[in-house]
Amino acid sequence: MVTPENNLRRLFAALQDELLAGLKANKVIDHPGAKGAATEADWLKVLQQHLPQRYSADRAIVIDAHGDVSDYLDIVIYDRQYSPVIFARNREQYIPAESVLATFEVKQTLNAANVKYAGDKIASVRRLHRTSADVHTLEGVKPGRKPCYVTGGILTTTADWQPAFGDAYLKALGELDANQRIDLGCSLAHGAFRASYDKGLATEQSTDASSLVSFFMWLLMDLQPKANAPAIDWNEYIKALEP
């Protein structure tokens, strides 16, 4: 008899094989931009199909009440239930900073340059201003909650480092400043990882066989305590529209 644990492992192994097959097929694409777009689309598809419906995952630009914007981001995970997309046209979407829960950059390989690149993209979101308004409920008005920490990460197919999660990997993460910090990532061929910085850099890695399932479970664990995004103070956005 097959146990439930084995069923779960088999299901995610099949999903990982499917994603890896799609990413390997992208190798035949010669144009770097086209190859990158195809890889981003594969990762987005996995997240869009498997995250709970309260979350959305899209390519996007993040905007705040001051009119400042982030860099263009490969993947933004945000609370769509209580947050509008301010502007959407073709591939351009502008999402209010308050609704962002996590952002990921997609690259072909894990190396120091791509870690730094992803860190800079993540920092462009964390530097934005985020408002918080009172929440009106049947029990009365409750004070607005503090905006949640924006989780940052990197998603790759493989890694340049051998071993993938050795000294070079730790050095690259350790050189990121507070706004650039990478909390969660996956190199499909080598494993998933998560990092904490509370008492200095500490990391945890999965095996290569469980890279996708480990990444996905760690992502769900990260999103769960964040609950709903804070209510947006639209008065601050209105002020930005005034001449």
Strand partners, 89: 92
Q: How far is CA 52 from the centre of its chain?
A: 15
68: how many CB neighbours lie within 10 A of its CB? 14
107 is catalytic: yes
Contacts of 12 (CB under 8 A, 6+ apart): 210, 212, 213, 216
Tokens encoding 185: 């990532």
Q: Which of 64, 74, 98, 183 is the catalytic position?
A: 74
Q: Which of 58, 107, 183, 222 is the catalytic position?
A: 107
- 160 by Cβ neighbours in 10 Å (0-12 / 13-18 / 19+) ranks as middle
**Which string of DSSP letters, residue by residue, matches 53-65?**
TTEEEEEEEEE-T
Q: How far is CA 161 from the centre of its chain?
A: 22
58 is catalytic: no
Q: How far apart are CA 239 and CA 233, in angstroms?
A: 11
Q: How far apart are CA 163 and CA 166, in angstroms?
A: 5
Q: How far is CA 93 from the centre of its chain?
A: 16
Helices (H) and strands (E) in the chain, counts: 6, 13
Q: Which of 58, 105, 183, 222 is the catalytic position?
A: 105
Q: What is the DSSP secondary structure assignment for residue 129, as one 8-state letter?
A: -
74 is catalytic: yes
Which sequence positions are flagged as catalytic?
74, 105, 107
